[in-house]
A and B are shown apart, each in its own frame.
Chain A
Amino acid sequence: MTIKTYRQALHDTLRAEMLRDENVFLMGEEIGVFEGSYKITAGLLAEFGERRVKDTPIAEEGFTGAAIGAAMLGLRPVVEIMTINFSLLALDQIVNHAAKIYGMFGGQAKVPLVIRTPGGGGQQLGATHSQNIELYYAFVPGMKVVAPSTPADAKALLLAAIRDDDPVLFLENLALYNTKGDVPDDDTPAEIGKAKITREGHDLTLIGYSRMAYIAKNVAETLAESEGLDIEVIDLMSLRPLDRETLVNSVKKTHAAVVLEDDWLTYGIGAEIAATISDGAFDYLDAPVRRVAMAEVPMPYSKVLESAAMPTNDDVVNAIFQTLEAVGRRLKKVGQSHD
């Protein structure tokens, strides 16, 4: 084990995979000379040269399409799209080509493509640069979408994504890059499609992914200490395929669930999770599944408004309390109410 930041874990894993397999190469805007907007690719151009680390024009559709072609012919491209907001420019390539080629052409060509891209707001980047639109890709059969919340998972899921023969959207998060944690030294990939119970409990199931999985774990631990609550936390890890079994089994045990997401509520991933629970654990629910999401507004630029729009620890605590009160737990309120 080594303690690393999320950023460092990504960097080290990319480098290790490039050393392991010469078919692995990187493409993206400013990933070479500039070493990446978030420095994930620092030093890699110098080490591997221009053949393996490609600076591209500001043309997401073009370089994503080029990567798809390379993947079809046997290379294993890892594309960095500077933020997930810009992936919209490559939407047609991802949705209509990467996700569909294997099926539409009878399996003649695989597309072992990884698109690394960070989502998330909170950096005062404004409405167009602060979105969480992984949902668009999780919606599409043929895609895989993974979202690590810890440095260890960042490593394990990136290993899995690079070695997977299907196109994988690898969701990073701006707010997680500097988080630290133990990272195993071996290179065991995660199993894509498996959620992880990051904290066992019996009172309620708290579900999140990416930044919200991180918040979920923190809130659960805080409430264990301050309120003696025994909350089970599930990190989805993978949005497609979705590990419905783990979700359903957990709710069968706890009888209540709160789902956290960093994006908008309406039609969101939380809706899919809530439906999954309703389908699989209806007879075990003692209260409705509650969702916590960001405000239904384009992200404001103002720091005050941005903070107000994003889901906070207090929002999560309130949702947990409301749900526990609905199942008969009497709790004293902590934190501020945003209702």
Chain B
Amino acid sequence: MIEIKMPRLSDTMEEGAIATWHKHPGDRVEIGDVLVEIETDKATMDYEAYEAGTLNSILVDEGETVTIGTPIATLDNGKDSPAPAATPAPAPVAAPAPVSAAAESTPVTAPAPAAVVATKPAARAPEPVHSGSDGVFASPLVRRLARDHDLDLSRVRGSGPGGRIIRADLNGLLSEAPAPAPHRAAPRAVISSGPIVDEKRASQEITVSKARRVIARRLSESAQTIPHFYVTAVADAQLLMEMRADLNEQAASKDLPKISVNDLIIRASALALREHPEVNASYLGDESSVMLVHNRINIGVAVASKSGLVVPVIVDADLKSVAELGVEAKALATQANAKGLSLEQMSGGTFTISNLGMFGVEEFTAIINPPEGAILAVGATTREPVVVGEQVVARYRVRFTLSADHRIIDGALAAQFLRTLTGLIEHPWRIVAAEG
């Protein structure tokens, strides 16, 4: 019998949630069969069997989250199997005794009734006054209702013995649960069907997804622990836009994919990083006497997918042509929206670009994506009045802001990096002509 444990599927993974079991107790399992889909902090991944056998039991149900190393299933590989679970009830003999309804169920340790020697009936086990592992002490019925109606028991005060939440305590909540949103002349968009928990604000509770929680935790960590500083530059993008128009005209005639401004900026950033490798670096923490400078330039591209922010990584961005980058970035974004990015596709980044230009944002600042040392926030490329010589003319301009980890990147370095980047954007042929 083998215990299958929650695997560590990424370096940042601490716990995983069971998304879907592909095998069920009694199913034959061959090496390489997909046993289960596991949702990690970054992606949902297939987990394959390393041993053949018969799936004996599932210990963690779908939707449940456990820490790495927690047994999630047992696989019977025919070796040192424990004593066969109680001989199956003999073929109906004289009296075909009904086999226990739960011959296989796990024994439940009930609080032993106090010895009732010479005391009367109604053995009352002392009411436990502890709380459950989740801090909530509720009757099984209440737990089932909470699951079915998506109730948050931590907000319910138990009136049962020892503070146990009992069915009667849910009366208010349950009557609210199916109630529709308050009547209004013009019905408002209601995001979830949950109850209104705050009438004044008409607030509803919406479950924070695992992915969202990971985003939240990592961003807090980054914003709170990394001393960010921000350097903004503006580049004249007139030539870049003209070149792009020209390239796309060529591409259209050859039925090739179009190139976006962002593709050019990815490429330009990669080239700027090659020139300033100290920006392509990671601080390892105060305890470490070294920092890492990365020799490969792997650029993460922030994508607002349906399930939240994801950052697919384009590996060796400095070695790829603009056209290649464009194709790859587009494919990754499409895949991200289908929630199909693998862990591999989201790891190993050395620098991130976040572009809100398509929303018309002029400029903004971004939070560093650890363990990277910097992130570039790119605004929209728009026509502005610019003084050229003595004339005011309309030209394309783009603003971008570098957020840098001041522990390893100083202001001057950030400024030099931006100057290089500005230079590339203002002399766009260097972006496409540079050796890839």
Contacts and interface: CB of A to CB of B under 8 A. Distances in A.
A328 B168 contact: yes
Contacts of B95: 99, 141-144, 166-167, 240-241
A292 B113 CA distance: 12
B167 A255 contact: yes
A118 interface: no
B288 interface: no
Interface string A310-325: 0100010011001000
A283 B160 contact: no
Interface string B217-243: 000000000000000000000000000
A122 interface: no
Contact of A244 (B90, B101, B120): B101
Interface stretch (B9-17, B75-83, B122-130): B122-130
Interface in B58-98: 89-91, 93-98
B121 A286 contact: no
B144 A283 contact: yes
A96 to B, nearest CB: 13
A103 B101 contact: no
A286 to B, nearest CB: 4
With a 10 A CB-CB cut-off, give which of A142, A143, A165 has the most chain B CB atoms.
Answer: A142
A108 B97 CA distance: 20
A118 to B, nearest CB: 22
A314 B125 CA distance: 19
Interface string B112-147: 010111111111110000000000000111111000
Interface in A246-261: 248, 255
B139 A290 contact: no
Given A285-B141, A290-B122, A102 B93 contact: yes
Contacts of B168: 327-329
B102 A141 contact: no
Given A143-B95, A241-B95, A326-B166, A283 B141 contact: yes
Nearest to A320: B122
Residue among A167, A242, A282, A338 with max Cβ neighbours from chain B (10 Å): A282
A327 B160 contact: yes
Interface string A269-303: 00000001011101111111011111111000000
B159 interface: yes
A324 to B, nearest CB: 10
A150 B115 CA distance: 33
A111 B105 CA distance: 34
Contact of A295 (B89, B120, B161): B120
Given A141-B97, A328-B159, A315 B166 contact: no
A266 B100 CA distance: 20
A326 B142 CA distance: 13
Contacts of A133: none
A319 B102 CA distance: 27
Contact of A287 (B118, B119, B139): B139
A295 B160 contact: no
Contact of B167 (A111, A265, A309, A327): A327
Contacts of B101: 244, 248, 276, 279-280
Contacts of B113: 265-266
B93 A283 contact: no
A315 B117 contact: no
Provide the main secondary structure of the chain B interface.
loop
Interface string B240-270: 0000000000000000000000000000000
B387 interface: no
B108 interface: yes
Contacts of B100: 244, 276, 279
A293 B116 CA distance: 10
B168 to A, nearest CB: 3
A293 B123 CA distance: 8
Contacts, number: 138
B121 A295 contact: yes
Contacts of B169: 328
A242 B101 CA distance: 11
Nearest to B93: A103
A110 interface: yes
A103 B90 contact: yes
A186 interface: no
A318 B96 CA distance: 37
A288 B113 CA distance: 12
Contacts of A193: 98
A295 B118 contact: yes
Most chain A beta carbons < 10 A, residue from B113, B116, B143, B159: B116
B94 A103 contact: yes
A318 B315 CA distance: 73
A315 to B, nearest CB: 5
B94 A167 contact: yes
A296 B120 CA distance: 8
Contacts of A265: 113, 116, 121, 123
Contacts of B102: 279-280
Given A102-B93, A328-B167, A255 B123 contact: no
Nearest to A248: B101
A225 interface: no
Interface in B24-63: none
Contact of B94 (A111, A276, A293): A111
B153 to A, nearest CB: 14
A47 interface: no
Nearest to B159: A328
Contacts of B121: 265, 291-295, 311, 315, 319, 338
A287 B116 contact: no
A185 interface: no
Contacts of A291: 121-123
A284 B95 CA distance: 31
Nearest to B102: A279
A297 B97 CA distance: 31
A144 B94 CA distance: 8
B90 A278 contact: no
Nearest to B165: A286
A285 B139 CA distance: 7
A167 B144 CA distance: 42
The CB with the most chain B CB atoms within 10 A, among A297, A315, A326, is that of A326
Interface of B: 89-91, 93-98, 100-102, 105, 108, 110, 113, 115-125, 139-144, 159-161, 164, 166-169
14 contacts: A141-B90, A144-B95, A167-B94, A276-B100, A278-B108, A288-B125, A290-B122, A290-B124, A293-B121, A295-B118, A296-B117, A322-B124, A328-B159, A338-B121
Given A284-B141, A295-B118, 20 more contacts: A100-B93, A103-B93, A103-B94, A110-B94, A141-B95, A143-B95, A193-B98, A244-B98, A248-B101, A265-B123, A266-B113, A278-B110, A286-B142, A293-B121, A293-B123, A295-B116, A295-B121, A296-B118, A311-B121, A327-B168
Give the top 10 A-B pairs by smallest Cβ distance, nearest first. Answer: A328-B168, A279-B102, A103-B93, A166-B94, A283-B144, A292-B121, A102-B94, A319-B122, A286-B141, A338-B120
